[in-house]
Chains A and B, each alone.
Chain A
Amino acid sequence: NAGVTQTPKFQVLKTGQSMTLQCAQDMNHEYMSWYRQDPGMGLRLIHYSVGAGITDQGEVPNGYNVSRSTTEDFPLRLLSAAPSQTSVYFCASSYGGTRDEQFFGPGTRLTVL
């Protein structure tokens, strides 16, 4: 099993550009989530999905879009990048919901100039 994979590892964008962060898992997990990690703020939930075709907003959804067309993939789209979106982004998946371990990808470090 590859677990949770994320691409790219690093990305530099200019303000106003758009891009998609890719996330895939091969564990047949129903739950998938996107977090951003900023110094001193821990991880904050951006969007999450409880299954293919079902997504919902987390704590900090503004400026981001998601879709879940398959169980395996959960891409995160930045619509118009802003310097405030400079962060490290983690994708996670879990078998079920509230009591299950979340498995994290290696992260994408994004810089918006």
Chain B
Amino acid sequence: AQSVTQLDSQVPVFEEAPVELRCNYSSSVSVYLFWYVQYPNQGLQLLLKYLSGSTLVESINGFEAEFNKSQTSFHLRKPSVHISDTAEYFCAVSALGGTSYGKLTFGQGTILTVHP
């Protein structure tokens, strides 16, 4: 089975400041890694994903995440946030095999609030 831990439930930052949302996972098999974002009163949208290859993946709106296999982490970063980045962010893993094949396991979520 897989588990995902998001180390911060809430992260308040000021506009144009950098931010890091932390995610650690546990799995007995190899996994794919995802970050989803949920804006207020909406469903989740994929922000970025790591499948293989370069351990640094980027989204179209300036977020990036780095897969660290030794530390089993997939932290999300942005060098300069905007008010519009205010949302809840979910880290998720999907197992490549075993009984959990095809199922997404989510972390608890991190609420990012960007203040002017």
Contacts and interface: CB of A to CB of B under 8 A. Distances in A.
A75 interface: no
Q: By CB atoms of chain B within 10 A, which of A42, A48, A105 has the most? A: A42
B71 to A, nearest CB: 21
B8 to A, nearest CB: 12
B43 A106 contact: yes
Given A40-B9, A41-B108, A45-B104, A98 B43 contact: no
B43 A50 contact: no
Contacts of A45: 103-105
Contacts of A33: 103-104
A98 B109 contact: no
Interface string A65-77: 0000000000000
B49 interface: yes
A44 B107 CA distance: 9
Interface in B1-33: 4, 6, 9, 32
Contacts of B43: 4, 90, 104-107
Q: How large is the interface on B (under 10, 10 to 19, 20 to 34, 35 or more residues)?
A: 20 to 34
Interface in A62-113: 90, 92, 97-99, 101-102, 104-107
A40 B108 contact: yes
Contact of A97 (B42, B101, B105, B109): B101
Interface in A1-59: 4, 31, 33, 35, 40-45, 48, 50, 58
B42 A106 contact: yes
B44 interface: yes
B57 to A, nearest CB: 13
B102 interface: yes
